[in-house]
Amino acid sequence: MTNMDLEDKKHSKLINAFSYAFAGILFALKTERNIRIHFLIAAIVVLFAFIFSVSALEWMLLLIVIGVTISLELVNTAIESIVDLITEEHHPLAKAAKDIAAGAVLVSCIMSVIVGLIIFLPRFFELF
């Protein structure tokens, strides 16, 4: 196998990896209500950020909390799917895994709301 063949193979694997990742996001969007809610709220936040001309630092903070929250929701969905695949019976450890993953999303959501309030609340008050 030549170096060119190896490069093509690596490139193909990289494309496949991205394809699988996007397929996972699309699957979650099609099947999970909460991820759709997170994307909707993210779109609203981005719209407000444009309307209120937030600073570069504020953009970075907003994008970080949006990215972390959506990522955690995807991980939560994956954990729930794995637990459901492994067992159909109610097991305390299965419940704990699901609850802990959901708790991680909740913590991220709370922190995201706090960041959003810090950034947007003063701007809303300036309108009145």
Residues known to be catalytic:
73
Smallest CA-to-CA distance from 59 within 70, 48, 72 is with 48
Other Cβ atoms less than 10 A from the Cβ of 99: the count is 10
Give dist(CA 56, CA 16) in Å, integer: 33
Question: Which distant-in-sequence residues (6+ apart) come within 8 Å of 38 by Cβ?
Answer: 69, 70, 73
Mapping DSSP onto H, E and C, the string for 72-101 reads HHHHHHHHHHHHHHHCCCCCHHHHHHHHHH
